[in-house]
């Protein structure tokens, strides 16, 4: 695991610390731990210099040089506001500890935007028939846009927001997707798979997943390209009090003529060249996992019917407008557009 590069045991020497700090480059900070890898303190080049100024030597224990009360994140006991505060304080590398105060990971705010406490599920089982013959021997999620597959753009963006457990639902040529990502360890995350024997719909496939580690779930289609801000999405979801929030795509329809408001055959008023605003389903959902109780294992349930069912049960369904980039790669012209767009946007 990458975080182990930042660990140094309290019994190690100052020379060992220098070597490790030098190897870390721009991320040069160590976290001093005991034999059970419980956090004791932090150590930087500056701490070592100050220790020498204060009379310590190379033969002294590194505990004489450390900062004894470093900032840390405790699993299950933090808020996104805490992370925002660390960023404002220009803190970059923050240890993540478990209940026993053992370091289990780090958050690098130089390479990640946040640490969202959600699981993610990516739907990647479709045949992509409209993109034939490109998808004859390659599943659509593995078609490359720029220098990597469509689905990898989505996986990397989820990881960028600190989501470290991802499940991919596969069916058509699914083994290729499993062979590409394997268990996710190459990206320092956990990737699992569920396989649909027959199409179950966007939400129906969730019934095959037995364990979720978080209370909230992001569900998305694999054939999207988007730079959605998942932290803001999650924050908006919590603030709304919604049971489910769907990402939406704003559309404007401009009518070039006056529109008549009528009752029967009588004109009541005119609206000169009006603009109408609509929101379309963006294929990304965030919801409480308690909603999974409405699913039957192995039964088909598409997204539209699931949301209509929630509304009928007086559950709150809200939407989150994506104001940045979004493209659904469904048709050949969408795939061509994606190849051009990727040259100019950052996902």
**276 — pLDDT class (breaks 50, 70, 90):** confident
Element (H or E) spanning 191, and its range?
Answer: strand 190-195
- The fold for domain 2-108 equals CBS-domain (3.10.580)
- The fold for domain 118-341 equals Spore Coat Polysaccharide Biosynthesis Protein SpsA; Chain A (3.90.550)
User: CA–CA separation, 86 vs 78, rounded Å?
Assistant: 12
| Residue with the larger pLDDT of the pair 257 and 224 | 224
In the prediction, which pLDDT does 215 show? 94
**119 — pLDDT class (breaks 50, 70, 90):** very high
| Residue with the larger pLDDT of the pair 192 and 275 | 192
Nearest 5°: the CA angle 166, 79, 2 is 50
pLDDT of 252 above 80: yes
Element (H or E) spanning 305, and its range?
Answer: helix 303-312
Ranges of CATH 3.90.550.10 domains, the chain: 118-341
299-319 mean pLDDT: 96
User: CA–CA separation, 249 vs 274, rounded Å?
Assistant: 20
Residue 183 DSSP one-character state: T
In the prediction, which pLDDT does 165 show? 95
User: CA–CA separation, 176 vs 141, rounded Å?
Assistant: 10
In the prediction, which pLDDT does 272 show? 85
- Asked which of 26-35, 74-83, 332-341 is least confident by mean pLDDT, the reply is 74-83
Number of CB atoms found within 10 A of residue 21's CB: 20
Nearest 5°: the CA angle 49, 50, 56 is 85
Helix, strand or coil, per DSSP, at residue 196:
coil
> Cis bond leading into 133, ω under 30°?
yes
289-299 mean pLDDT: 94
**211 — pLDDT class (breaks 50, 70, 90):** confident
In the prediction, which pLDDT does 4 show? 93
**267 — pLDDT class (breaks 50, 70, 90):** confident
In the prediction, which pLDDT does 190 show? 95
Under 8 Å between Cβ of 63 and 47: no
Question: Does pTM surpass 0.85?
Answer: yes
Cα 256 from chain centre: 41
pLDDT of 1 above 80: no
**76 — pLDDT class (breaks 50, 70, 90):** confident
pLDDT of 270 above 80: yes
**258 — pLDDT class (breaks 50, 70, 90):** confident
Strands (E), 99-188: 103-108, 118-124, 144-145, 148-149, 165-170
Counted residue by residue, the chain has a size of: 347
159-182 mean pLDDT: 96
163-179 mean pLDDT: 96
Ranges of CATH 3.10.580.10 domains, the chain: 2-108
- Euclidean distance between the first and the last CA atom of the chain, given in angstroms as a whole number: 25
In the prediction, which pLDDT does 259 show? 87
- Nearest by Cα to 78 from 92, 93, 98: 98
pLDDT of 293 above 80: yes
- Nearest by Cα to 17 from 38, 39, 37, 47: 47
Share of the chain above pLDDT 90, in %: 85
**Which residue pairs, CB below 8 angstroms and at least 24 apart, start in 151-155?**
151/122, 151/124, 151/177, 151/222, 151/223, 152/180, 153/225, 153/347, 154/122, 154/220, 154/222, 154/224, 154/226, 155/122, 155/181, 155/187, 155/191
pLDDT of 316 above 90: yes
274-294 mean pLDDT: 93
- Nearest by Cα to 64 from 45, 50, 75: 50
User: CA–CA separation, 33 vs 102, rounded Å?
Assistant: 8
């Amino acid at each position: 695991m990458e975080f182990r590069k930042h660990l140094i045991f309290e019994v190690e020497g100052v020379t060992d610390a220098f070597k490790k700090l030098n190897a870390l480059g721009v991320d040069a900070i160590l976290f001093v731990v005991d034999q059970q890898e419980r956090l004791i303190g932090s150590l930087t080049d500056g701490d070592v210099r100050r220790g020498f100024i204060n009379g310590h030597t190379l033969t002294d224990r590194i505990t004489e040089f450390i900062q004894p009360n470093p900032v840390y994140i405790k699993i299950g006991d933090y808020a996104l506001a805490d992370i925002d505060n660390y960023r404002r304080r220009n803190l970059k590398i923050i240890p993540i500890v478990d209940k026993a105060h053992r370091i289990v990971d780090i958050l690098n705010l130089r390479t990640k935007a946040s640490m969202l406490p959600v699981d993610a599920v990516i739907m990647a089982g479709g045949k992509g028939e409209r993109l034939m013959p490109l998808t004859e021997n390659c599943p659509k999620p593995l078609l490359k846009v720029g220098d990597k597959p469509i689905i990898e753009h989505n996986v990397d963006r989820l990881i960028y927001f600190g989501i470290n457990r991802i499940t991919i639902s596969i069916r058509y040529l699914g083994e290729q997707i499993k062979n590409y990502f394997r268990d996710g360890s190459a990206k320092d995350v956990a990737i699992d798979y569920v396989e649909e024997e027959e199409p179950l719909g966007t939400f129906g496939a969730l019934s095959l997943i037995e364990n979720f580690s978080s209370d909230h779930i992001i569900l998305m289609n694999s054939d999207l390209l988007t730079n959605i801000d998942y932290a803001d999405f999650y924050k908006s979801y919590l603030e709304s009090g919604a049971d489910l929030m769907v990402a939406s795509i704003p559309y404007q329809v401009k009518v070039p003529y006056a529109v008549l408001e009528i009752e029967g055959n009588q004109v009541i008023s005119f609206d000169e060249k009006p603009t109408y605003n609509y929101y379309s389903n963006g294929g990304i959902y965030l919801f409480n996992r308690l909603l999974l109780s409405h699913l039957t294992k192995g039964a088909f349930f598409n997204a539209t019917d699931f949301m209509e069912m929630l509304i009928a049960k007086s559950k709150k369904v809200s939407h989150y407008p994506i104001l940045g980039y979004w493209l659904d790669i469904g048709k050949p012209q969408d795939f061509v557009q994606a190849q051009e767009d990727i040259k100019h946007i950052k996902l």
